């Protein structure tokens, strides 16, 4: 409990005790009775009166402090001293419970996101010294002991260990790392001390970017939050004028039309009760808190959502488009089979590897990896790359072609047909076909289940957009159960296809595109919701996407949608419940059934229930 909360609690207790004492003291003098009631009233309500005065001074009169000040001062002016003090006391009790509940929930959320390192260990004069992570520079060596958080991104230069990455990914399975591996900040060292050479400043490290992303998420407001802001802006003045009309029109009607007594005091009191009830506290507090809790809870399971507007859009997702490589497949190419003709497999692989000697393409690197020997680059006389086709090289004074069927057709060489799924690299030497190498990209373990989960959760259509040729694209989509596949697409073609998909859906439906966050940045930014996955430590992913999945598990896509839908369901529950209770109690107060103290009790009750309901958005583990 904060100092301010303790101070307010003491004020409430003192005022409550004084109110009880005054109630049992018989007083015949009205002035003395007024003075006695003013003591607990001012103790518990002086801050509300001050805020109301400042609001009037700043021409922002129509807020809850103004409503409460007018209602209680009006009750006291009518001689209802006890009622005026009770209403202020009940209101402050409600405010205290609200402050306590919101504070606790924010602490719980902060605890979920407690990944910020407090210090970094560096060596000075053969001793370990703890320094602020901001004081560590790129290239410095830090030591991370067992149980400590890695404070900055870097590369292990000594040691091997297991890392707990759950604070970033939500996964409990440890990640084994050793010398030469890159590691990111926010992970916890579990088994052995390691030495790390830093590769980023603290402000640019993964943990800083993730924390900034979460902390700034509340600035991107959803339509629901905007609705509540606008609702409160127009609603409060409207009820003030309605209360004024309730205080004036019925007495006039009684006197002028029905020829009955004015009875102003009864209708003024009802109008004041009407004002008390009208405070939109439950909506104004619980809706932003629900989104904040939803975003915080999602971050604990490795789903980073950049704002409540994206959370709301994600809940309406009915179409999901995927990139293939790195999204539904691992993006790790490896040689699966070698088909040779008039040449041994080792010789075929030897020429293919030397032809790819200067290639940075994943397929070329996979062939070199399979070769597994040092390359003798003196054997290579020339290499020329044909974009989209392959490589022409002179190796051992022999003309070597390494590529797809298009490359061989350009040289009037007939390639052997292969029905294997995956990428086929054909090799011809001195104009004669020598065989082909099959390169496979493994499908992710949970990819098929992820597609099933999406369909189970109301996604109408799944689409795969890929630059791969038709055969490979269809093979992957058939294995996964993807509804539609569009293949042989260049990056600009993917943008065109997403534009078509956006036109196909209705206005109330959203299209999510899932990519690796680097190559697919233009498409990610164009979709209604851009989701980057396989993005542990990827700056490009965090920058480009609206939603970032901090590991490469496709199942997190469905989880993110379910989290968003749960959050929106709670938002609508709170809106419906709060407005319904408001309308009922406003009507009851207008006809004189609801007394002022009962009205404030109902208002506080609605607010507390709405806040408790909002905190349910934190529970995302079992979704």
Task: Tell me whether residue 177 is exposed, middle or buried, using C-beta atoms within 10 angstroms of its C-beta: 0 to 12, 13 to 18, 19 or more.
Answer: buried
**HSE-CB for 571 with a 13 A CA cutoff:** 27
| Contact partners, residue 394, CB within 8 Å, separation at least 6 | 380, 381, 382, 383, 400
**HSE-CB for 305 with a 13 A CA cutoff:** 34
Residue 195 pLDDT: 94
- The residue-averaged pLDDT of 100-116 equals 60
| Contact partners, residue 614, CB within 8 Å, separation at least 6 | 105, 286, 287, 289, 290, 293, 570, 574
141 CA to centre of own chain: 33
Residue closest to 596 by CA, chosen among 43, 91, 22, 95: 91
The answer, yes or no, to whether residue 361 has pLDDT greater than 90, is no
Alpha-carbon torsion (178, 184, 190, 194), positive or negative: positive
- The residue-averaged pLDDT of 279-304 equals 76
The helix/strand/coil state of 620 is: coil
5 CA to centre of own chain: 30
CATH 3.40.1110.10 domain range(s) in the chain: 330-442
Residue 463 pLDDT: 95
- The residue-averaged pLDDT of 583-593 equals 76
Query: Does domain 120-151+153-199 match CATH 2.70.150.10?
Result: yes
489-522 pLDDT tens trace: 877 788 899 999 999 888 889 999 998 756 677 8
Question: Is beta strand 398-403 parallel, antiparallel or unpaired with respect to 194-198?
Answer: unpaired
Residue 354 pLDDT: 93
pLDDT band for position 6 (50/70/90)?
confident
CATH match for 330-442 among 3.40.1110.10, 3.10.580.10, 3.40.50.720, 3.40.50.2300: 3.40.1110.10
Whether the CB-CB separation of 355 and 377 falls below 8 Å is answered with no
The answer, yes or no, to whether residue 41 has pLDDT greater than 80, is yes
158-185 pLDDT tens trace: 999 998 887 777 666 788 899 998 888 8
Name the CA radius of gyration of the chain, rounded: 34
Whether the CB-CB separation of 487 and 429 falls below 8 Å is answered with no
The answer, yes or no, to whether residue 609 has pLDDT greater than 90, is no
48 CA to centre of own chain: 36
Annotated catalytic residue: which of 323, 350, 553, 603? 323
> What's the Cα-to-Cα distance from 127 to each of 122, 189, 470, rounded to whole Å?
8, 20, 61
- Measured distance CA(538)–CA(209) in Å, rounded: 10
Query: Strand (E) positions, 444-558?
Result: 461-465, 484-486, 510-515, 529-532, 547-549
- Measured distance CA(251)–CA(186) in Å, rounded: 68
526-572 pLDDT tens trace: 889 989 886 655 666 667 788 888 777 888 899 999 999 998 999 88
- Measured distance CA(281)–CA(289) in Å, rounded: 12
Q: Which range, 160-174, 459-473, 589-603, is most confident? A: 459-473
Residue closest to 40 by CA, chosen among 26, 20, 69: 20
**More confident of the two residues 292 and 335:** 335
First to last CA, the chain: 31
**More confident of the two residues 604 and 417:** 417
Residue 219 pLDDT: 58
- The residue-averaged pLDDT of 273-279 equals 72
195-238 pLDDT tens trace: 999 998 988 887 777 777 666 655 565 666 666 666 666 776 77
Q: What pTM was estimated for this model as a whole?
A: 0.69
Residue closest to 452 by CA, chosen among 603, 558, 316, 570: 558
Per the annotation, the verdict on 430 as an active-site residue is no
pLDDT band for position 592 (50/70/90)?
confident
- The residue-averaged pLDDT of 297-313 equals 84
Residue 2 pLDDT: 72
Taking the CB of residue 95, how many other CB atoms lie within 10 A of it?
Answer: 19
Residue 161 pLDDT: 92
The helix/strand/coil state of 588 is: helix
**HSE-CB for 487 with a 13 A CA cutoff:** 12
3-state secondary structure 536-577: CCCHHHHHHCCEEECCCCCHHHHHHHHHHHHHHHHHHHHHHH
The DSSP bridge partners found for residue 143 are 121, 195
Which of 299-303, 450-454, 508-512 shows the lowest mean pLDDT across its residues? 299-303
Whether the CB-CB separation of 321 and 463 falls below 8 Å is answered with yes
Residue 432 pLDDT: 92
The helix/strand/coil state of 436 is: strand
CATH 2.70.150.10 domain range(s) in the chain: 120-151+153-199
The one-character DSSP state at 405 is H
Whether the CB-CB separation of 48 and 68 falls below 8 Å is answered with yes
The answer, yes or no, to whether residue 583 has pLDDT greater than 90, is no
pLDDT band for position 620 (50/70/90)?
confident
CATH 3.40.50.1000 domain range(s) in the chain: 304-329+444-563
Residue 230 pLDDT: 67
In b/e form, how buried is each residue of 544-554, taking b as 16+ CB within 10 angstroms? bbbbbbbbbbb
> Mean pLDDT, the chain, as a whole number?
83
Which of 76-80, 168-172, 288-292, 313-317 shows the lowest mean pLDDT across its residues? 168-172
User: Could you tell me the CATH superfamily of domain 304-329+444-563?
Assistant: HAD superfamily/HAD-like (3.40.50.1000)
The helix/strand/coil state of 198 is: strand
- Measured distance CA(260)–CA(250) in Å, rounded: 11
The answer, yes or no, to whether residue 8 has pLDDT greater than 80, is yes
Residue 39 pLDDT: 93
């Amino acid at each position: 409990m904060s100092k301010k909360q303790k101070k307010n609690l003491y004020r409430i207790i003192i005022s409550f005790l004084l109110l009880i004492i005054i109630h049992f003291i018989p007083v015949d003098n009205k002035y003395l009775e007024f003075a006695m009631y003013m003591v607990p009233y001012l103790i518990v309500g002086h801050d509300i009166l001050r805020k109301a005065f400042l609001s009037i001074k700043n021409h922002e009169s129509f807020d809850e402090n103004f409503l409460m000040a007018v209602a209680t001062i009006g009750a006291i002016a009518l001689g209802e001293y006890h009622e005026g003090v009770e209403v202020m006391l009940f209101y402050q009790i409600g405010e205290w419970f609200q402050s306590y509940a919101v504070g606790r929930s924010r602490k719980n959320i902060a605890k979920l996101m407690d990944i910020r390192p407090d210090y970094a260990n560096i060596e000075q004069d053969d001793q370990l010294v703890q320094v602020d992570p901001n004081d560590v520079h790129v290239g410095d060596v830090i030591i991370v002991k067992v149980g400590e958080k890695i404070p900055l991104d870097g590369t292990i230069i000594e040691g091997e260990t297991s890392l707990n990455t759950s604070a970033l990914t939500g996964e409990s399975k440890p990640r084994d790392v050793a010398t030469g591996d890159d590691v990111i900040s926010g992970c916890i060292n579990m088994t052995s001390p390691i030495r790390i050479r830093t590769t980023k400043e603290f402000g640019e490290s993964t943990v800083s970017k993730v924390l900034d992303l979460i902390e700034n998420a509340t600035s991107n407001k959803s339509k629901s939050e905007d609705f509540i802001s606008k609702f409160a802006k127009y609603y409060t003045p409207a009820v003030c004028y309605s209360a004024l009309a309730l205080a004036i029109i019925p007495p006039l009607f009684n006197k002028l039309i029905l020829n009955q007594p004015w009875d102003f005091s009864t209708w003024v009191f009802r109008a004041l009760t009407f004002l008390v009830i009208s405070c939109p506290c439950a909506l104004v507090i619980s809706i932003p808190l629900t989104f904040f809790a939803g975003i915080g809870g999602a971050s604990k399971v490795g789903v980073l959502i950049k704002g409540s507007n994206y959370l709301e859009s994600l809940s309406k997702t009915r179409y999901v488009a995927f990139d293939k490589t790195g999204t539904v497949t691992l993006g790790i190419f490896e040689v699966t089979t070698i088909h040779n003709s008039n040449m041994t497999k080792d010789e075929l692989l030897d020429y293919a590897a030397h032809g790819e000697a200067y290639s940075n393409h994943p397929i070329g690197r996979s062939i070199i990896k399979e070769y597994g020997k040092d390359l003798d680059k003196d054997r290579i006389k020339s290499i020329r790359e044909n974009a989209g086709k392959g490589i022409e090289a002179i190796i051992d004074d022999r003309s070597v072609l390494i590529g797809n069927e298009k490359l061989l057709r350009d040289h009037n060489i007939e390639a052997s047909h292969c029905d294997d799924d995956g990428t086929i690299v054909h090799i011809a030497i001195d104009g004669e076909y020598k065989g082909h190498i099959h390169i496979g990209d493994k499908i992710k373990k949970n990819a098929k289940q992820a597609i099933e989960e999406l369909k189970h959760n109301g996604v109408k259509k799944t689409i795969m957009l890929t630059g791969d040729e038709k055969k490979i694209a269809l093979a992957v989509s058939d294995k996964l159960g993807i509804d539609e596949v569009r293949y042989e697409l260049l990056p600009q073609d993917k943008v065109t296809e997403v534009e078509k998909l956006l036109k196909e859906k209705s206005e109330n439906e959203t299209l999510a595109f899932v990519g690796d966050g680097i190559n697919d940045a233009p498409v990610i930014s164009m979709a209604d919701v851009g989701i980057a996955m396989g993005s542990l430590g990827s700056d490009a992913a965090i920058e480009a996407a609206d939603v970032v999945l901090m590991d490469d598990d496709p199942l997190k896509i469905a989880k993110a949608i379910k989290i968003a839908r749960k959050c929106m369901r709670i938002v609508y529950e709170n809106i419906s419940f709060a407005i319904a209770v408001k309308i009922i109690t406003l009507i009851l107060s207008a006809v004189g059934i609801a007394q002022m103290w009962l009205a404030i009790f109902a208002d506080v009750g609605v607010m507390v229930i709405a806040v408790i309901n909002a905190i349910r958005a934190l529970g995302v583990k079992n979704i």
